[in-house]
Structure 1
C-alpha cells in the first residue's frame, strides 16, 4: 500500500503561500499527498484535497464539525505522517489523530509563532499556553521557527517527543534577489515611479497586529525632510479604510500608495530602497526574509520574529512598535546616507542565507526522513516478531 501524508491547516492558502516545495518533495519520494483545510483552491502536488470548515476562532461552533470530519479522514486513510500548521489546524488535527498515533502515525506540528510570548497579553497566556502545553503530549515532533519559541517550549517542558528549531518556511532566492540598477529603474518606470523616488515597502494584511498606522504616522513626521518619499503598502484587510483615512488626516495620502492584493511582490521589493515592518507580533515573517534576499535594509518594530532577522544597526533597525518618532528618525538616517543603505543591504543578503528555501528543505527532510525510517524499522520489527 502506498505511503500517505496529510498536511492540515486552517485555510488552504497557507499551503499555496508557504508549503508547495514540501508537498512536491513528498510526491518525488513516491508518497500520496493529501490536504485538509478550509477553502477551494486547487493546489499542485496534491492527490486528494478535503475542504473542511476549520475556523480561526477557537470558540466557533463549526470547529466541532471540522473536528469530526478530520477524525473520519484520518481514521479512514491510515496516514504514515501528518504535518499540521496554524493554531486551530494544529489543535484539531492533534486531537483528531490521537487514535492514529496509537497505530503508528507520526504527528508533526509547526508552530508559526506561539500566541503566548514575551510581551503578549495575559489573556494569550491564559488561553493558548495551556492548550499548546497539553497538546504537545499528542505530538511526535514540535517544530518552532524562531529561537524564542524553541527556548520557551524547552523551558516549559513541552511533552512532544522531539522539539526542533527550523529556520522558517524558506525564501526562494531564485525569485527574490537584488536587481541591477537598470532593472530597478525599469520596474519603477513601468509602475509610474521615478529613479530618484525613495521607496519604502511593506506587504501585510491590514489588521491590528500588522500596525500599519505606525508607518503612516512615522512618514508624516519626516515628509518635509524626505520630499521624494513614497510608502507602498500592499495588502487588504479590515483596517484598510481606517488607515487610508489616517493618511488623509495626516496629509500624507498623496505619498502613501495603497496597492491592494499583489502577486508581484518580488518586483515591488526589487525596485524599493528599504523595507519597513510594523507588526506587534510575528513568528518569523516571510516578508522580511524576502526583503533581505533582495538586498534591502529593514526598519522594523520590535518583536521576536523581527529581532531574529534584523540585527539592530547592522542590517537595519529595531524599534518599539509604539514609537513613531524614533521609527521616523531611523528611516531618515538611511535616507540621508546611500553608503549606509548599501552596507546594511549587503548584511541583509549575508544573514538571509540560512533562511533560504534550499536550506529549509534540507532541515525538514532530516525530520521527515527520521519518521520514514522509523516506520520502516517498525515494520521490519513486527515482521521479525511474527517468526519468533
Structure 2
C-alpha cells in the first residue's frame, strides 16, 4: 500500500475566518487513502472550527502563543514535524507562514504558503519578516491575480538562493451546501421581525478596520432613506464591534439593523439576504462573498483585491472603486429597484461560482499541488 502523505497545516488561530473555514472544508473531502491531515494552531478563539476538523479525522494540536510568541514556538513545531514524520507543510497567513519557514528549514520538508493579501498592507515588522524568510519556502499560492502580481522575491534577504514558484489558486465554496433556501431565509426574517417581503442587504465579516463597516453603516442608512422598508443584517464580530454598535444606535434606521454576531451556520442568514454589500478597503478573495453568490445573492462591492476578478459589473452585481465607496448605496438601490435584474444577477452569480469556484475542483487541484511538490523535493534531494 502506498504511504499516505502527511500534510501539516499551520495557522495562527482556528476561528471562523476564510482561511480557517477553507482548511476545514478541504480536509473534509480530501482523499483519505492518499492524505493524512494535521493542524497546529496557537490562538484560542471563540466559535472555532476545531470540532469540525476533528470530526473529519484531522489531528489538531494547540501550542499557546501570541504573535511575537509564535517565534518562541519554532523549536517545538520543529520537533513536532520530525516526530510525526510530516511530508509537507502548508502555512496560512503571515505569522504562521514565518514560523513554518523557520521551523521546517532544517528538515528539508517542502513548505507551501497561501498568501491572502498584498504585502504593502502588512505592518513593517510582518513585512520585514516575510521578506527575510520568503525564499525558505517552495511554493506560494496566491488567492487572486492581484495578490500574485504584488508578491516579489527578495533574494538579498534570503537564507536560500531560490525563488519559490508563485501560482494563483482562487478560493472555493461548497456549492451543494450553499444553496438558496427560501424557507430558511423566512425563518431568520421572522426571528428578527423582518417582514417577509422586505428587502435585506447583508454582509458576513470580521469587524476590523479593513472591512470599513463604518462606511457600510453609512451607506446602508442612505439606502434606508430611499427605501425605508429595507433591513440590514451584519453577521460577525471583532474588535470594532463597540464602534459599529454605537453607529447603528445613532443611525435613524437603527431599528432596521440586525447585528447577529458570529454564527456557526451562516447559510440561513444568507438565505434571508437579497443583496450582499462589501465596503472593504482591501481583500484577497473573500469566501463569504463566494458563499453569498452560491446562494444566488448579487454582490455590490468596492473593487478590492480579487473581487474585481470575479464580479462582472451588471452581470453578477455592481462595483465601484475603493475610493468611491460613497456610490455603494446608489448601486444597491439600482439593483433593489429592478427586481427582475436582481433575480438575473443572482442566477448569474451562482452559475459563475459553480463553474469556477467549486470546492471539489479546488481540493483536487490542491492535492495535485501537494503530490507534485513532494515529488519535486524528493527528486531534488536525490540529485
The question of a shared fold, defined as TM-score above 0.5 by the shorter chain, is answered with yes
The question of whether the paired residues in 2 share the 8 Å contact of 1:203 and 1:287 is answered with: yes
2:60 paired with 1:49: yes
Kept in 2: contact 1:207–1:237 (CA 8 A): yes
> CA 1:254–1:129 in 2, change beyond 3 Å: closer, same or farther?
same
Which residue of structure 1 lines up, in the alignment, with residue 47 of structure 2? none
Specify the SS of the correspondent of 1:29.
coil
Match of 2:133? 135
> RMSD of aligned C-alpha atoms?
2.8
Among 85, 88, 98, which residue is 1:81 paired with? 88
- Alignment correspondent of 1:315: 316
Structure 2 counterpart SS, 1:97: helix
Say how many residue pairs are matched: 366
Q: Which residue of structure 2 lines up, in the alignment, with residue 288 of structure 1?
A: 289
Q: CA shift at 1:318, angstroms?
A: 1.8
Q: Is the 8 A contact 1:292 1:298 kept in 2?
A: yes
Aligned to 2:170: 167
Matched, 1:110 2:119: no
Which piece of structure 1 moves more, 307-316 or 352-361? 307-316
Question: 8 Å contact 1:7–1:34 — kept in the other structure?
Answer: yes
Residue 91 of structure 1 is matched in structure 2 by 98
Q: 1:24 to 1:333 in 2, by over 3 A?
A: closer
Instruction: Give the number of the structure with larger relative contact order, counting CA–CA contacts within 8 Å between residues 6 or more apart.
Output: 2
Question: Is 1:10 aligned to 2:12, yes or no?
Answer: yes
1:259-316 per-residue CA deviation (whole Å, 9 max, x = no partner) reads 1111231111112110111121211101100111111111112311322222223211
Matched-pair contact (CA < 8 Å) for 2:41–2:63: yes
Matches of residues 306-345 of structure 1 in structure 2 within 5 Å?
306-321=307-322, 323=324, 325-345=326-346
Aligned mates of 1:47, 1:155 — CA distance in 2: 33
Helix, strand or coil: the match of 2:209? coil
Give distance in 2, aligned partners of 1:92 and 1:363: 25
TM-score for both structures, normalised by structure 2: 0.86
Name stretches of at least 5 consecutive residues in structure 1 with no aligned partner. 383-388
- How do 1:156-195 and structure 2 match up within 5 A? 159-168=162-171, 170-179=172-181, 184-185=185-186, 187-189=188-190, 191-195=192-196
1:159-308 equivalent positions in 2, closer than 5 A: 159-168=162-171, 170-179=172-181, 184-185=185-186, 187-189=188-190, 191-308=192-309
Taking a change above 3 Å as real, the CA distance of residues 341 and 173 of structure 1, as seen in their structure-2 partners, is: same
Is the Cα–Cα contact under 8 Å of residues 196 and 228 in structure 1 kept in the other structure? no
Counterpart-to-counterpart distance in 2, 1:197 and 1:243: 23
